[in-house]
Amino acid sequence: MRYIPILCLKEGMKLGKNIYSTEGVVLLAENVILTEEYIASLIKIGVNGVYIDDNISSDIVVQNIISDELRIEAIKSIKSIYNNSRNVGRTINMVENIAKSIMFEILRSKNIMINMIDIKTFDDYMYTHCLNVGVLAAVVGVGLNLDTKKIEKLTAAGLLHDIGKVFISKDLLNKTEKLTEEEEKLIRSHAELGYRYIKQYYTIPVTSYVGVLQHHERFDGKGYPDGKKGDEISQFGRIICLCDAYDKLVTEAPTRKACIPSEAIEYIMANNGQMFDPKLVKVFLRRVAPYPIGSILRLSNGEKVIVIENNEECSIRPKVRNVETQEVYDLTYDWNLRNVTIIDVEDM
């Protein structure tokens, strides 16, 4: 199967993966043949793309980093946590349970690499974003060889990093016009609001809620709320800053368009040492594929290929297959292709 942006879908394509609502209801099941009406409905609810099965991708398996079942349960729980922030006793258990489940699923995975594009809708944006940041943080934690207790705390901090936004109006958060100075200041306050809330009501370790406070600090000291830099920022804060930025870039939201993963990775690399900790960027690039499996690429020699496998040692040079001849190339190890580069990501 392979991922197709929503505006590139055509009538007659076969859906490769279920599309779920926030509540876990199947909106459209895999193997359904897409009609114009189905495509219009997906656009209306803000789906930014789907996985399809076709002749060039039918043998390609795209593995979830966490199961659909856990993702559905986690989004429900995160929604409950963020919408019932006063019922603290119940939400503490939810956060701990989700964080632990995510960590164990990732640790059990044979290939700990983000190799797929998440399918989201506008209405569940904040909840899926918080889940994705938690998952990305856990993946980075595993890449850093942190112990399981620390990975669990890091994951919890990722899940809760935006909880301060529940104290800010949705109209302001979703505003598409230029923000006033006062509005910008209010939105920026979410890091401190979340920190104070968690510190007061949650019995979680200090590293977790400090990570929430510092997830908008920059490695060069130009972030907020305190302008800390380098190692003055907690490890959790530096990790969540990186994961938060990446997921925002690849996510369609009411206020912005999504980048493709390779563009988001370029942004991360361009801001290496400025916004982001270089040591963490190095780990991140080994764990998040710029060209997810199923991506269609145009090579500098004119060939059109599909990504069939990624190599964490050199994720910018995947194993690919020519969509016409079916010939397989390993861009990392094939010496004859050393001068061949990827020049574009295409849709078919």
What is the tens place of the pLDDT at every residue in 129-172? 999 999 999 999 999 999 999 999 999 999 999 999 999 998 99
8 confidence band (pLDDT: 50, 70, 90) = confident
In a domain, 147, yes or no: yes
Give burial (CB, 10 Å; 0-12/13-18/19+) of 192.
Answer: middle
Residue 285, pLDDT > 90, answer yes
**Domain co-membership, 187 together with 223:** yes
**Structural domains counted in the chain:** 3
Higher pLDDT, 17 or 116: 17
**Domain co-membership, 243 together with 102:** yes
> Lowest-pLDDT range, 41-55, 56-70, 97-111, 252-266?
252-266
In a domain, 59, yes or no: no
Q: How high is the pLDDT of residue 85?
A: 64
Q: How high is the pLDDT of residue 228?
A: 98
**Domain co-membership, 206 together with 339:** no
Displacement of CA 259 from its chain's centroid (Å): 11
**Domain co-membership, 90 together with 194:** yes
* Helix ranges restricted to H, the chain: 36-44, 68-83, 88-108, 125-143, 148-160, 170-173, 181-188, 190-201, 206-213, 235-250, 261-270, 278-287
CATH number, domain containing residue 223: 1.10.3210.10
Q: How far is it, in rounded angstroms, from Cα 329 to Cα 308?
A: 10
Q: Which of 264, 287, 310 is the last residue of a domain?
A: 287
Higher pLDDT, 248 or 252: 248
Q: What is the mean pLDDT of residues 170-178?
A: 89
**Domain co-membership, 198 together with 215:** yes
Sheet with 342-346: strands ordered across: 328-330, 319-322, 304-309, 296-299, 342-346
In a domain, 62, yes or no: no
In a domain, 60, yes or no: no
What is the tens place of the pLDDT at every residue in 94-109? 888 999 999 999 998 8
Q: How far is it, in rounded angstroms, from Cα 100 to Cα 77?
A: 13
Q: Which residues of 73-86 are buried (b: 16+ CB within 10 A; e: fewer)?
A: bbbbbbbebbeebe
What is the tens place of the pLDDT at every residue in 194-228? 999 988 887 777 888 899 999 999 999 999 999 99
pTM (global) more than 0.85: yes
**Domain co-membership, 203 together with 332:** no
Q: What is the mean pLDDT of residues 55-61?
A: 91
**Domain co-membership, 123 together with 242:** yes
> Lowest-pLDDT range, 19-23, 259-263, 278-282, 296-300?
19-23
Residue 348, pLDDT > 60, answer no
Q: How high is the pLDDT of residue 122?
A: 55
Instruction: Report the alpha-carbon angle 214-90-156, nearest 5.
Output: 30
**Domain co-membership, 8 together with 123:** no
Task: Name the token pair of 7.
Answer: 């505006």
**Domain co-membership, 34 together with 155:** no
In a domain, 63, yes or no: no
Average pLDDT, the chain: 90
**Domain co-membership, 192 together with 232:** yes
Q: Which of 267, 287, 307 is the last residue of a domain?
A: 287
In a domain, 255, yes or no: yes
Domain that holds residue 73: 68-287
Q: What is the mean pLDDT of residues 324-338?
A: 92
**Domain co-membership, 258 together with 315:** no
**Domain co-membership, 94 together with 119:** yes
What is the tens place of the pLDDT at every residue in 65-102? 899 899 999 998 998 888 876 555 556 778 889 999 99
In a domain, 253, yes or no: yes
In a domain, 26, yes or no: yes
CATH number, domain containing residue 11: 3.90.105.10
